[in-house]
Amino acid sequence: MNTDNDLDRVWQCLETGDIPGAIRGLRGVAATVPLGELARALEKAARLAGFADLAKAAEQAVAQPASPERLYELGYACVERGIAFAAIPPLAEAVRRVPGSAGVRNELVAAYEAEARHGEAVALLEAHEAELRAWPDRYLLVYNSILGGDLTRARRHAAALPAPDEDRWTWAYGRVSRMPNRADAASRAGALDHLDLRGRQFALTGGVLTTLSPYGFTAGMTGRYAMHQDDHTSCLHGLRRLVLVLEAAGVAPTTVSLLDDRGGRIMGLAAADLLGVPTVSYTPTRPDTLVVAYRLEDLAPEVCATLRERAPGQVLYEHATCWTQPPAVSADVSGLLRQYGNAPWEEQLFARPDGGVGDGADTRPEADHAAEVLRAGPYDHAGDDDAPADPDEALGTFTRTVAGTWLSGTRDRVDSPGPVRSSRFA
């Protein structure tokens, strides 16, 4: 790699105001350019973007490159602004200068975690194991061991993690207590290796993934979608597989709760018809109900927050889950995992009768779309020749195997893809 040329291209992007291009370029060189050069480029990018906090932190790091405080502040600002990759070099240097600082060390762990570099987070914490506090230090060690797929290491460190004295860590303790139990159940249903997306999804989030993408499985996608333009056939397939999961687990909702968004209402109407149960308006405390969302990210934050705690017998279904920016809560059942895509009733490309291509949203009433979902044709997304088979029987067996640990605990957001990686758009 010619670092100088790559950094020159970053500056060319900055001079033309191409902030996304500059950030993509910085991702490729952040680990190799001198810290001063990285800070200068970050300052310029931050000023162009109007991020005064990051610009100030970068400016001060340029002026005081040997100061652990300035390096920490730059790293912290990068994490807060969503560019954790750029936080790692200054934070690593700050840790080198003040190795005994738990605050600096844990901020570097946060940056590693945001970049799904869990092995490096674990290595950093283990290098200072004698100094670790129980909370949050050892918790971070257990959590990143789980996210990195090393369950043996996670259990070993979990044995040294006492129950927290402070209420603010109670949820975290519950999370790292449930994850290994779910992993044990998933390991009885499949390989639970770096290709077992369904098993890892369950271990990390507690949700059952019904459909594996048949495209590019061995070319980097491993069951996730990058771009996915949805159709009514896919929606029906997701709902039928949801019904399969419910039946396999012996769960029988008595109602379908309709959320206050167009996609959720369309999918909810169709789900109620399939299940033969009435629809009701969503209320957080209603028991024995199926809550249906097309995308949880479409919900108002205050509504999404009410779904974190599960009412008795409540099941949350999300048809299309964004795996690169997961929603605030993890669904109990996810239809598919994708990075980008639209619903059939949203803006879509379509073939015009004259042979041309058009785009636009389908504004028909929600009931019309629900009816079209129910009369959709068979799911025939054959995919690539190297895609593994994903029959109904496999999903049913998986669900029956993990049912004892399903629908337990809070629905926690998990930002990491875990040990099963997929290619993504930058």
Relative to beta strand 357-360, strand 348-351 is antiparallel
User: What pLDDT digit, counting tens, does each position of 14-49 carry?
Assistant: 999 999 999 999 999 999 999 999 999 999 999 999
Q: Structure tokens of 345?
A: 């009733």
Place of tokens 């190297």: 386
- Arithmetic mean of pLDDT over the chain: 95
Confidence at 203, pLDDT banded by 50, 70, 90: very high
CATH fold for the domain made of 193-405: Rossmann fold (3.40.50)
Compute the average pLDDT of residues 124-129.
Answer: 97
Count Cα atoms within 13 angstroms, Cβ side, for 375: 6
Helix (H) or strand (E) holding 335: strand 333-338
Rounded CA-CA distance 57/63 in Å is 10
- The residues near 25 (Cβ < 8 Å, ≥ 6 apart) are 6, 7, 9, 10, 13
pLDDT surpassing 70 at residue 187:
yes
Selecting from 2.10.109.10, 1.25.40.10, 3.40.50.10860, 4.10.320.10, what CATH number does the domain 3-179 have? 1.25.40.10
pLDDT surpassing 90 at residue 381:
no
Confidence at 3, pLDDT banded by 50, 70, 90: confident
User: What pLDDT digit, counting tens, does each position of 400-414 carry?
Assistant: 999 999 999 999 999
User: What pLDDT digit, counting tens, does each position of 238-289 carry?
Assistant: 999 999 999 999 999 999 999 999 999 999 999 999 999 999 999 999 999 9
Domain ranges of the chain: 3-179, 193-405
Which pLDDT does position 357 carry in this prediction? 62
Compute the average pLDDT of residues 114-127.
Answer: 98
For every residue of 143-192, DSSP letters joined together read: HHHHHTT-HHHHHHHHTT-PPPSSGGGHHHHHHHHHHHHHHHHHHHHS--
pLDDT surpassing 60 at residue 111:
yes
pLDDT surpassing 90 at residue 196:
yes
User: What pLDDT digit, counting tens, does each position of 128-141 carry?
Assistant: 999 999 999 999 99
Which pLDDT does position 383 carry in this prediction? 80
Using a pLDDT cut of 90, give the percent of the chain over it: 92
Record the pTM. 0.93
Return the ∠ at Cα 393 (arms to 389 and 399), rounded to 5°: 110
Cβ 199 vs Cβ 190: under 8 Å: yes
Rounded CA-CA distance 373/146 in Å is 38
Confidence at 359, pLDDT banded by 50, 70, 90: confident
358 forms beta bridges with: 350
3-state helix, strand, coil split of the chain in percent (to 5) is 55, 10, 40
Rounded CA-CA distance 81/100 in Å is 26
* Radius of gyration in angstroms for the set of CA atoms belonging to the chain, rounded to a whole number: 23
pLDDT surpassing 70 at residue 352:
no
Confidence at 328, pLDDT banded by 50, 70, 90: very high
pLDDT surpassing 60 at residue 1:
no
Compute the average pLDDT of residues 320-327.
Answer: 96
Looking at residue 321, what DSSP letter applies? E
Which pLDDT does position 384 carry in this prediction? 80
3-class secondary-structure state, position 349: strand
